[in-house]
Amino acid sequence: MSPAEKLARAETICAYSFKQKSLLRQALTHPSAVGDQATGQSYERLEFLGDSILGSVVAAALYEAYPSFDEGKLTRLKVSLVSGMTLSEVGEEQGITECIFLGASELGTGSRGMHSALENVYEALVGALYLDGGIEAAESFIMRTLRPHLAADRAERPENPKSYLLERVQADRLGLLTYKMVDVSGPPHQPRFTAVALLDGARQGKGTGSSKKEAEAAAALDALERLGYTTQGVILKRKLG
């Protein structure tokens, strides 16, 4: 896909026509591409701006949508919605992957190295939309793309999947719970870790993240799902089966 086609595709995804195309180009430019292409900056500064705007827009939307929720539930729901996992999923659903300008060092990483880039570009697009079209443009994009992921039961997801899994494993005497790091991919400045959760040496869950802690938490959540303690990440009143 040519640069012009990438920009056009990104505008379709955003449902917005940029007056400053350079802002859109910057939002789509991975740090690895700055040295390879005739571009001013990567998405990092726009990502910083977009992160703050995203948090504010989501917080305001949740406050209005769930008047009966206390601060704790609202916080858990917000954290779930703006998490790296959710944003990378949304970015993939929207087709942002094919719009990103990558440097040669990133081209071979495939989908493994794309998760954090998708999260970052999503936030950078929010920042670019804000600068080019104001808060209305940014808010429209956020609500349109995140709305399918907005569900009240996200507020009931375990805050600490590792602690919750350990609690359930010990209560039901399922065996010895351990974690093992099985893969590290991506460049040094943006590594991607993969961990597995084991019960008596048998794999029960697998997860990835931008840190070992995040990968183990994802593996714990996957194990909770497979063992029947959650469904789609939501704590069940009783174990299935």
The whole-angstrom separation of Cα 142 and Cα 139 is 5
Residue labelled with tokens 């040519």: 2
47, 119, 123, 225: which one is catalytic?
123
The answer to whether 200 is a known catalytic residue is no
DSSP string covering 25-70? HHHTB-GGGTTTSS-S--SHHHHHHHHHHHHHHHHHHHHHH-TT--
51 is catalytic: yes
SS3 state of residue 193 = strand
CB burial of residue 6 (10 Å; 0-12, 13-18, 19+): middle
Length of the chain: 241
Catalytic residue among 51, 214, 216, 222: 51
**Coil, strand, or helix at residue 203?**
strand
> Of all residues in the chain, what percent are helix, strand and coil, respectively (each to 5)?
60, 15, 30
Backbone angles phi, psi at 41, to 5 degrees: -140, 165
List, by residue number, the catalytic residues. Answer: 51, 123
